[in-house]
Amino acid sequence: MPPFFSRIALFRTAFNIKGLIKEGYSQYAFAGRSNVGKSTLLNYLFNQKIAKTSATPGKTRSVNYYLIDELFFCVDLPGYGYAKAAKSEQDLWRKVLESYFENNPALKEVFLLVDSRHLLLEKDEQMIEWLQYLGVPFSFVLTKTDKLTTNQLAKQTEAIKNAYPKNRSVFPVSSLKRTGRSELVAYIDDLQKGLAE
């Protein structure tokens, strides 16, 4: 494989709709509930601490475009479902997220991160419906798998696969134990080459 995921640069931080990018490099977005582990996963994929993470929800408050090997963007999104944020801020973020997914031909795949202990919650279901409505391809990433036994993880993976019989890919990862990276990176590589989906 040629060098892949080796040169990482923060290309843009968008705080509002005007800052969103809808053309140019292909985008792979990392979405999911607040605190599910999006930014931590990106740091693991990138092999460097470039995205801001926090033990308290609501850390990422902008749309962060990381340019990878000058080939494509990995996009770190703010989490949804953070009830403690001010209503005005939640409204702003809902609008920015909605706008991010709408009419975005550069968006090639959404990785929907789900905590492997909880699986799909109502907000995740809403997100899935929204993505399906828009026709945006998505896959699941089960995060924090270090919190489960092998058996529990197998059950959860099966459950999420069966919830969506359309053969969605499911990627179990632990950014803490550093497992699951190669499958995800290979999948993005395939998408880039037009080999997947």
Ligand X SMILES: Nc1nc2c(ncn2[C@@H]2O[C@H](COP(=O)(O)OP(=O)(O)OP(=O)(O)O)[C@@H](O)[C@H]2O)c(=O)[nH]1
Among 5, 29, 38, 74, binds ligand X (CB under 6 A): 38
Among 60, 64, 116, 175, binds Mg ion (CB under 5 A): 60
For the bound state, the minimum distance from the C-beta of residue 74 to ligand X, rounded and expressed in Å, comes to 13
| 178 within 8 A of 46, measured Cβ to Cβ | no
Asked whether position 39 contacts Mg ion by CB under 5 A, the answer is: yes
- Encoded one letter per residue, x for contact with ligand X by CB under 6 A and - for no contact, window 89-128 reads ----------------------------------------
Distance CA 157, CA 152 (A): 9
| Alpha helices (H) along the chain | 38-46, 87-101, 122-134, 150-163, 181-193
Task: Mark the segment that binds ligand X (CB under 6 A) among 11-19, 29-37, 119-127, 182-190.
Answer: 29-37
Terminal C-alpha separation, the chain: 20
Distance CA 171, CA 161 (A): 11
Report which of 196, 57, 33 is spatially closest to residue 126, judged by C-alpha positions. Answer: 33
Helix, strand and coil content of the chain, in percent to the nearest 5, comes to 35, 25, 40
Asked whether position 1 contacts ligand X by CB under 6 A, the answer is: no
Among 21, 36, 68, 107, binds ligand X (CB under 6 A): 36
Asked whether position 35 contacts Mg ion by CB under 5 A, the answer is: no
| 114 within 8 A of 36, measured Cβ to Cβ | yes
Residues within the interface to Mg ion (CB under 5 A): 38-39, 59-60
The residues that touch ligand X, with contacts defined as CB under 6 A, are 34-40, 53-55, 57-60, 78-79, 143-144, 146-147, 174-176
